[in-house]
Chain A
Amino acid sequence: MKPFRADLHIHSLLSPCGSLDMSPAAIIRHAVARGLDMIAVSDHNTTLHCELAVTLGLGAGITVLRAAEVTSSEEVHSLVILPDGEARVSFQAWLEQHSTFVPHDPKIFGDQVVIDSDENIITEITHYLPAALDATLDEVEAAAHRHGALFIPAHIDRPSFSITSQLGFIPEDLYIDAIEVTGPTPDLLYPVIRNSDAHIPEHIGRRYTSYMLSRPSFEELAMALRGEAGRHIIAAER
């Protein structure tokens, strides 16, 4: 086993707030250059760039996990990191089923485009992706775990769209695999990780977490968050 560096919160150009420079290929190029071993592509309420990123990652020798940053009805953002392609397809259907279809104006919020491996636009999403789903945080957590995913409340120390800002404190009966922070480590009992929340290439890897694993994979990451069989979080770097 050895340390692996992972940044599990990266937006592609499909997120309206994601820079148009954030194609899956560019994300992988920058992630490799930054010395990361594993990343997750986590757009707002969609997983539609994950498969392209996974394929490109295989060619570049970097592990790419499928993920989404999900907005609950309370406007709490959580990372849902999925185990495999099958779970992603099913979770994508769940996301679409719970979308509230707020109309999107690219002039105000930015473009929401899905591209192919030649960087041609395949689809433009016409509803505002980050809008709150009609699913409560409890329901997001249940859906994540039903899909075998990891459920990680995002940037819990930020003053907007965090479990802390929206709900005041973390409900103790919520089943949480880890919490993501951007600043100092809080005095809480949950596993703590840091990720970049990058929207531009230069931010990829600006925060990351080192894990002791036998290889960079979803299963190993899940074991590290549970502290199983010698896998563990080494340090959440910033």
Chain B
Amino acid sequence: MKVTDIIEKLGLTVFSGHEGLGREITGGYSSDLLSDVMGHAPSGAAWVTIQTHRNVMAIASLRDLAVVIITGGETPGEDTMVQSNEEGIPVLGTALNTFELSGRLYSLITE
């Protein structure tokens, strides 16, 4: 499943990283502790979080994640979006909370 597929099916906003919209999603990870994500998120994952700090992009790149989805209607900082564009890893947004978005994403990915 590609990033563009989940944008369409889950009605997500694209904040940045348009170059990476064709990236393949092979799993998911929901966590707001960046230390946890750094140690445990599988490569190719869609990362669901409410954290918007620029370190999110460094860790997404380090773990080779497919995409970052910011929940709860939060908006990433300018520096986060700049780094997302540089890395080509999209940052998406939703008004849904992490539980709701993760449940829908899980269903889509395991369909």
Q: Which residues of A contact B (CB under 8 A)?
A: 74, 136-138, 159, 164-169, 171
Contacts of B52 in A (CB 8 A): 136
Interface string of B8-33 (1 = CB under 8 A from A): 00000000000000000000000011
Q: Which residues of B contact A (CB under 8 A)?
A: 32-38, 51-55, 58-59, 77
Does the CB pair A167–B77 fall under 8 Å? no
8 contacts between A and B (CB under 8 A): A74-B53, A136-B52, A136-B53, A138-B77, A166-B33, A166-B34, A168-B34, A169-B55
Does the CB pair B53–A165 fall under 8 Å? no
Closest-CB distance, B72 to chain A (whole angstroms): 12
Complex Cα gap A169–B59 (Å) = 9
Complex Cα gap A164–B51 (Å) = 14
Closest-CB distance, B24 to chain A (whole angstroms): 24
Complex Cα gap A165–B55 (Å) = 12
Contacts of A159 in B (CB 8 A): 35
Contacts of B34 in A (CB 8 A): 165-168
Closest-CB distance, A43 to chain B (whole angstroms): 25
Closest partner residue, chain B, to A167 (CB atom): B55
Closest partner residue, chain B, to A75 (CB atom): B32
Complex Cα gap A194–B54 (Å) = 28
13 more A-B contacts (CB under 8 A) besides A159-B35, A165-B34, A168-B38?
A136-B77, A165-B35, A166-B33, A166-B51, A167-B53, A167-B55, A168-B34, A168-B37, A168-B55, A169-B58, A171-B53, A171-B54, A171-B55
Closest-CB distance, B110 to chain A (whole angstroms): 28
Closest-CB distance, A141 to chain B (whole angstroms): 12
Contacts of B54 in A (CB 8 A): 171
Contacts of A171 in B (CB 8 A): 53-55
Q: Please indicate which of the listed interface residues B33, B51, B53 has the most CB atoms of chain A within 10 Å of its own CB.
A: B53
Does the CB pair A74–B51 fall under 8 Å? yes
Q: Please indicate which of the listed interface residues B34, B38, B59 has the most CB atoms of chain A within 10 Å of its own CB.
A: B34
Closest-CB distance, B56 to chain A (whole angstroms): 9
Contacts of B55 in A (CB 8 A): 167-169, 171
Closest-CB distance, A186 to chain B (whole angstroms): 14
Closest-CB distance, B64 to chain A (whole angstroms): 15
Complex Cα gap A164–B33 (Å) = 9
Complex Cα gap A40–B55 (Å) = 30
Instruction: Kindly identify which residue among B32, B33, B53 contacts A137, using a CB–CB cutoff of 8 Å.
Output: B53
Closest partner residue, chain A, to B38 (CB atom): A168
Closest-CB distance, B7 to chain A (whole angstroms): 26
Complex Cα gap A167–B80 (Å) = 13
Contacts of B36 in A (CB 8 A): 165
Complex Cα gap A197–B21 (Å) = 46
Closest-CB distance, B51 to chain A (whole angstroms): 6
Contacts of A136 in B (CB 8 A): 52-53, 77
Complex Cα gap A166–B37 (Å) = 10
